A and B are shown apart, each in its own frame.
Chain A
Amino acid sequence: MLDYAWFIFLTPIIFAPISALAGWKGKNIAGILASISIFISLALSFLLFLSIRNQSAAIYQSYNWFANINAGIYVDHLAIVMALMVSFVSLMIHLFALYYMKEDPRKNIYFGETALFTGGMLGLVLSSNLLEFFTFWELVGVCSYLLVGFWFFKPNAASAAKKAFIVTRVGDLLFIIGLAILYSSLNASGVNDPLSIPYLITNAGSVANAIGSQNLTIVALLLLGGAAGKSAQFPLHVWIPDAMEGPTTVSALIHAATMVTAGVYLIARVLPIYATSIFASDTVLFIGAFTAVFAGTIGIAVNDLKRILAYSTISQIGYMMAALGMVSVIGQSAVGLSLYHLVVHAVFKALLFMVAAVVLLVLMDLRDVKQMGGLWRKMPITMTLFFIGSITLAAIPPTAAFFSKDTIIDASYQYYLANGQGIQFLLPWIMLLLGAFTTGLYTFRMFFLVALGKPRSKLAEEAKDPPLIVLVPLMILAALSLGLGLIQYRFYDFLTPSAEIISVPTLPTYLPLIMVGIAFVIIASIYGTGLWKKMDLSKSRLYRLVKSKYYLDAIYTRGIAERVILPLSSGFSRTEDGFSRSVEKTGGGAMAFGGLLRRIQSGVVEYYFVFLVISIGIIMILLEIMGGI
């Protein structure tokens, strides 16, 4: 008997083709069906949450898939939190998309794909086996590809979809190699069902003994590679900004709230493995912290509204990663820190993206923030929501992100303290602090340019609020952005019983807020006064470096893709040409030979007998020689 938890992810998957078919010829029913299916998922998740709220044992149900791989569901507190978040945010975005995609002729396909995506994401969250996890991981990757390229007739969208797919593929390759190593070494040491998540997380110590801690470190690093690809961490972050070419609701759903956090979830899921290796967990921490500041600096120089949000997503995921990397100091409490920020981020980033969707809809897809301005007066309700989203992103109290993000920064200070105050251990804290500073910079810059000042284009002058009803999902999210801070410690305790309480000296605690304050002052003096119009940064080398995204994209496309991969592939294709020509030649030879053989078939019976006798004679001789005693 299937537990009803299965239907959390099965319902949207089943509904996906139904809604795509039912909405044929652009009927509205597609979106409604998809939303209903996700509502069912949300309701089931909530029921499940109520039933396992007070128990520490997880729900585990699995069936043999093949060989010694059992696939099924494994729902513990971590999974249920993630499932609630995914289904809730997805429902909000679906409801909003009913309005946003109203005019699109292929919206049935859109809703089919987003429902499939949500099902895949929920399946990933509830997987009981890493291989099953990987399968769903690929499913959401495919959905992301399809949805980014949803407006495939735009050349940008088509190439962005390809880029997203290829870059994440690099990560996926690392992931599957890691799984293969883990499987083969555990299988060799006689473990039954080696890739099962419950086994791995309850027996991390014996796994390390069985396969050697060095191998386990390699596995952990490879999994981190997969997570970095999916969650857009340095150096595989380059795909997210381009992925903004898709519909904005897709960016909200996939590239802000859910799929990009799959990498974080993966590491949180198997965190006990990282706990066995200081090197692996420190790598997670440093990559996360570095990404947080690195992406933040690019965010300051970007003018495309959606791309600012994209870089901020990369930067915020860096915080979640960094929180997980501190497992060596704060143990499993790291999961609570990371997931709390993940949930909060999903809520406010979905809100910001949907606000961006409204703005872009009103401004006819004009994305340059320098052409906006003054929107607060034109569309006050939307911009109020934008304001709430922005202060949450900047982590100003009492918004939820203040509690979630600053706790992570505090924890990194504790990391420094716990490691004997060596200067290299202060580095994560410094990077995260600078990350908070850059967050303040790009957030306020974005807000000043979009909402304040005077309208700088005709479209911006004519902007006005959409119907209030479509903003309801956004309002719910805004309320949550403000209110989620209330449950901070309960959340930590729900994920990790008796979670460690982060306590650091007073000054480091207030420093992030001070940083944001400085950022506000800087931005207000430049963008609040119109000074920015007179500044010419194009001569500054630093600005050009940041503006060109540290030349990483250029290195990938021009250096690696054009210099290495393309010549390699054309070389291969030439070899293959030669090969296929030789196959053709062989084919011709075979045909000629066959024709010769058919000549034996002359139709004259007498010849047949002669042929028969001769060949039987030959076979007898061969047999005598080969089988000879």
Chain B
Amino acid sequence: MFGILFTNQIQVMYPEIFLGLVAFGMLLLGRSVKNPRVYTAITMASLFIALFLLLTFDSGNETLFGGSYLINNFGLYFAVIMIISSLYVTFSAGATLKSNPESFFSIFLLVNVSMMVAAFSNNLIYIFIAFEGVSIGTYIMSAYGKTRRNLEASAKYFFTGIIATGFILFGSSFYYLSTGTFNLLSVNVSRGPMLVALIMLFVGFGFKLALVPLQQWAVDAYDGTANPVSAFLSTGTKVLAFLIILRVFIEGFRNFSTDVFYLFVIVSIITMTYGNMAALSENNVKRMLAYSSIAQAGYLILVVAATSASTTSAFVFTVAMFTAMYYSLVYIFMKGGAFLSVSAVRKDNVEIDDMAGIGTISPAFAISFSILMLSLAGIPPTAGFFAKYYLFLALIGSNLWWLAVIGILNSAISVFYYLKIIVVMFRKDVDGKDFNTSRAVIAPLVLAAALSLILSLFIFAYPQISAMATGLGVSI
């Protein structure tokens, strides 16, 4: 009777099943225990166990459910780094979540379940379900705290999010209409319906990545939610959306790569420029970071542009895939750390000037934050530099000089606002400021800064990481 539990199909689901059980157990426990530390500990522990289970049961190469669910290293890599991003958020969230921690963390774990499912799915319906699991969970998480600001942010996020849901379903049905399957394959069909499917799916998935013109929820949502939630929204779910975009548009629309190419080039140029320009004149730190994460998303999708160009080659594909995987990993820490660091100022609506003088009160904070900013700006020897380096290498490799130049110019613009905040931090006027420089705030930041430096060593894993890209199932 229990034999079914040990079949392949179930074994690969062990991490998901385990996290789901813990989530429900947590809800039950919530009736008696209210201490947030307990839930932080449970969440951390179960995420670690899930990581272990992932590496144990999902490290093979398997095709399940008629090609809808692919177990391979590509999905595994993304699943692992999404769990790592959740671990990072949990590590730093505990102190700031006071009321109803059990519901927050159980939803958080369920979101993780969906993320892991999405990482391995190769079928638009599977992806849709997992994606919705993540979306709905994050709608609730962004309302956490229940202040007026939180609720407003959540409502905006929700309303725009369900529009995206509609687009995904619509696009998926067009995909099905043309190809006769929901599985992502390279099929040769007529262009018209596929073009509709392309745009609709792009709108749906681009939403989570906050690409222009789908970015508008992002700034309000990041600004209005609690810091750990905005950190999670801008890291874990973004990586997920990016993974899905890689899958759907590189694999599923292989035969329409010209359309994919132009779509992504146009959107990424608009996105980069919009994000950087808007961030230039923004004074609110969280909104500035939100704009900067829009700009970063613009860089990320250049990977798709590089692989879809007609001039692409096997080398470019390898470099681009390495960029995608490496950038995602680096991005988690630099962006997550940056969002979390806003907690250091005890105040809503933190302006850049409110950070003035923190350099004298807590040098560790200021230096770590500076490292993160330098990494976001892409200045060596931080990991952010190497991520951008490989990105532009891929672009130049496929002869897209002009695109690389636009990207580099954008990077140059972005240096301005990243450096501005560093300069302000080391200014000397501290009077009347109330900083929270407790260990709970500093520790995650220092960790992120250290990783932003250490991860630059990962470029030596280039062969191993780029070998995982074969799991995408596309050969050039």
Q: Is the CB of B280 within 8 A of A611?
A: no
**Which of the residues A608, A616, A623, A626 comes within 8 Å of B216, measured between beta carbons?**
A608
Min CB gap B380→A, angstroms? 16
Residues of A within 8 A of B217 (CB): 608
**Contact of A595 with B by CB under 8 A:** yes
- Asked if residues A598 and B278 are in contact (CB atoms below 8 Å), the reply is yes
Residues from chain A with a CB closer than 8 A to the CB of B258 are 627
Instruction: Name A598's closest neighbour in chain B (CB-CB).
Output: B278
Asked if B278 contacts A619 (CB within 8 A), the reply is no
Contact A594 B280 (CB under 8 A): yes
A590-B413, A620-B199 given; A615·B213 CB < 8 A? yes
Complex Cα–Cα for A608 and B218 (A): 11
The number of residues on chain A lying at the interface, defined by a beta carbon within 8 Å of a beta carbon of chain B, is: 27
B185 at interface by CB-CB < 8 Å: no
A616 in contact with B281 given A601-B219, A623-B199, A626-B262 (CB within 8 Å): no
Q: Is B10 an interface residue (CB 8 A)?
A: no
Q: Which of B67-75, B99-107, B109-117, B155-163 contacts A (4 or more CB under 8 A)?
A: B155-163
Question: What residues on B are CB-neighbors of A364 within 8 Å?
Answer: none
Is B267 part of the binding interface, using a Cβ–Cβ cutoff of 8 Å?
yes
Does A629 lie within 8 Å of B262, measured CB to CB?
no
B379 at the binding interface (Cβ < 8 Å):
no
Q: Chain B residue with minimal CB distance to A620? A: B199
Indicate with 1 or 0, residue by residue over A420-439, a CB within 8 angstroms of chain B CB atoms: 00000000000000000000
Expressed in whole angstroms, the Cα–Cα distance for A173 and B212 within the complex equals 49
Which residues of B183-225 are within 8 A (CB) of A? 191, 195, 199, 203, 212-214, 216-217, 219-220
B219 & A616 in contact (Cβ 8 Å cutoff): no
A587 to B276, CA, bound (A): 12
Measured CA separation A598–B195 after assembly (Å): 31
Residue A593 CB within 8 A of the other chain: yes
The interface bits of chain B over 251-263 (1 if a CB of A lies within 8 angstroms of the residue's CB, else 0) are 0000000110111
A residues 3-21 near B (Cβ < 8 Å) are: none
Q: Which of B213, B259, B262, B413 contacts A612 (CB 8 A)?
A: B213
Q: Mark A586-629, 1 if CB is under 8 A from B, else 0.
A: 01001111110110110101001101100110011011101101
Q: Which residues of B contact A595 (CB under 8 A)?
A: 281
Nearest-Cβ distance from residue A23 to partner chain B, whole angstroms: 29
Number of interface residues of B (CB under 8 A): 33
Say yes or no: is B47 at the interface (Cβ < 8 Å to chain A): no
Q: Is the CB of B266 within 8 A of A601?
A: no
What's the nearest-Cβ distance from chain B to residue A627, in Å? 4
Question: Is residue B279 contacting chain A, with contact meaning CB distance below 8 A?
Answer: yes
Q: Is the CB of B203 within 8 A of A629?
A: no
Contact between B277 and A616 (Cβ–Cβ < 8 Å)?
no
Closest to A587 in B: B416
**A609:B163 contact, CB within 8 angstroms:** yes
Say if the beta carbon of B175 comes within 8 Å of chain A: no
Residue among B159, B216, B258, B282 with the most chain A CB within 10 A? Answer: B216
Contacts of B418 in A (CB 8 A): none
Alpha-carbon distance between A593 and B275 when the two chains are bound, in angstroms: 11
- Give the contacting residue for B213; candidates A591, A616, A626; CB below 8 A: A616
What per-residue 1/0 map shows which CB atoms of B116-160 lie under 8 Å from chain A? 000000000000000000000000000000000000000110011
How many angstroms between the C-alpha atoms of A381 and B366 in the bound complex? 63
Q: Which of B261, B266, B277 lies in contact with A594, CB distance below 8 A?
A: B277
Chain A residues near B199 (CB, 8 Å)?
616, 619-620, 623
**Which residues does chain A contribute within 8 Å of B276, judged by CB atoms?**
594
From residue A596, how far is it (CB to closest CB) to chain B in Å? 9
Q: Is the CB of B219 within 8 A of A591?
A: no
A264-308 Cβ-contact flags toward B at 8 Å (1 or 0): 000000000000000000000000000000000000000000000
**What are the residues of chain A within 8 A of B203 when measuring CB–CB?**
612, 616
Closest to A606 in B: B159
B274 within 8 A of A: yes
Could you say which residues of chain B place their CB within 8 Å of the CB of A597? 274, 277-278
Q: With contacts A590-B277, A612-B163, A623-B262 known, is A601 near B213, CB below 8 A?
A: no
Contact B277 A623 (CB under 8 A): no
How far is it, in angstroms, between the C-alpha of A609 and the C-alpha of B217 when the chains are bound? 10
| Of the residues B155, B160, B262, B282, contact of A627 by C-beta under 8 Å | B262
Chain B hits for A593, CB < 8 A:
277
Give the residue name and chain of the A residue nearest to B261 (CB): A627
Task: Across the interface, name the chain B residue whose C-beta is closest to A593.
Answer: B277
| Cβ contact within 8 Å between B159 and A594 | no
Chain A: CB-nearest residue to B152: A603
Distance (Å) between the CB of B116 and the closest chain A CB? 30
Residues of B within 8 A of A624 (CB): 195
Interface centre among A587, A605, A624 (most CB of B within 10 A): A605
Contact at B220–A601, with CB atoms within 8 Å?
Answer: yes
A611 to B213, CA, bound (A): 7
> Measured between alpha carbons, how far is A605 from B224 in the docked complex, in Å?
14
Contact across chains for A598 and B213 when beta carbons are under 8 A apart: no
Q: How far is the CA of A609 from the CA of B162 in the complex (A)?
A: 12
Find the A residue at minimum CB distance from B417: A594
A627 — which chain B residues lie within 8 A by C-beta? 258-259, 261-263
Whole-angstrom CA separation of A603 from B413 in the bound complex: 26
Complex interface: chain A residues within 8 A of B280 (CB):
587, 590-591, 594
Give A519 Cβ to nearest chain B Cβ, in Å: 60
In the complex, the answer to whether A598 meets B282 with C-beta atoms within 8 Å is yes
Question: Would B279 and A594 count as touching, CB distance under 8 A?
Answer: yes
Contact B267 A598 (CB under 8 A): no
Residue of A nearest to B196 (CB): A620
For B325-368 the 0/1 string (1 means CB < 8 A from A) is: 00000000000000000000000000000000000000000000
Please, which residues of chain B bring their CB within 8 A of the CB of A591?
A: 280-281
Contact A605 B195, beta carbon cutoff 8 Å: no
Chain A contacts for B191, CB-based, 8 A: 629
Contact, CB under 8 Å: B214 / A612: yes
Kindly state the separation between the CA atoms of A620 and B195 in the bound complex, as whole angstroms: 9
**Does B278 lie within 8 Å of A594, measured CB to CB?**
yes
Closest to B167 in A: A616
Most buried by A among B213, B214, B274, B282: B213
Given A611-B213, A619-B266, A620-B199, also A605-B278 (CB < 8 A): no
Please, which residues of chain A bring their CB within 8 A of the CB of B281? 591-592, 594-595, 598
Q: Which residue of B lies closest to A622 (CB)?
A: B266
Q: Mark A558-599, 1 if CB is under 8 A from B, else 0.
A: 000000000000000000000000000001001111110110
Q: Report B57 CB to chain A, min CB distance, Å.
A: 41
Report the Cα distance A629→B256, complex, angstroms: 11
Cα distance, A622 to B220, chains bound together (Å): 29
Among B259, B274, B279, the residue within 8 A (CB) of A623 is: B259
Interface residues of B in 231-283 (CB under 8 A from A): 258-259, 261-263, 266-267, 274, 276-282
A residues in contact with B267, CB < 8 Å: 619
Nearest CB on A from B258, distance (A): 5
Cα(A620)–Cα(B192), bound, Å: 12
Residues on the B chain within 8 Å of A616, using CB: 199, 203, 213
A603 to B, closest residue via Cβ: B220
7 interchain residue pairs of minimum CB distance: A615-B213, A594-B277, A594-B281, A608-B216, A627-B259, A594-B280, A597-B278
Residues on A facing B (Cβ under 8 Å): 587, 590-595, 597-598, 600-601, 603, 605, 608-609, 611-612, 615-616, 619-620, 622-624, 626-627, 629
- Pick 25 A–B contacts, CB within 8 A, sort by A: A591-B280, A593-B277, A594-B278, A598-B282, A601-B220, A601-B278, A603-B156, A603-B220, A605-B155, A608-B156, A608-B217, A609-B160, A609-B163, A612-B216, A615-B213, A616-B199, A619-B263, A619-B266, A620-B195, A620-B199, A623-B266, A626-B262, A626-B266, A627-B259, A627-B261
Known: A590-B280, A619-B267. 8 other contacts (CB 8 A): A598-B282, A601-B220, A608-B216, A612-B214, A612-B216, A615-B213, A624-B195, A627-B263
Chain B residues within 8 Å of A, Cβ to Cβ: 155-156, 159-160, 163, 191, 195, 199, 203, 212-214, 216-217, 219-220, 258-259, 261-263, 266-267, 274, 276-282, 413, 416
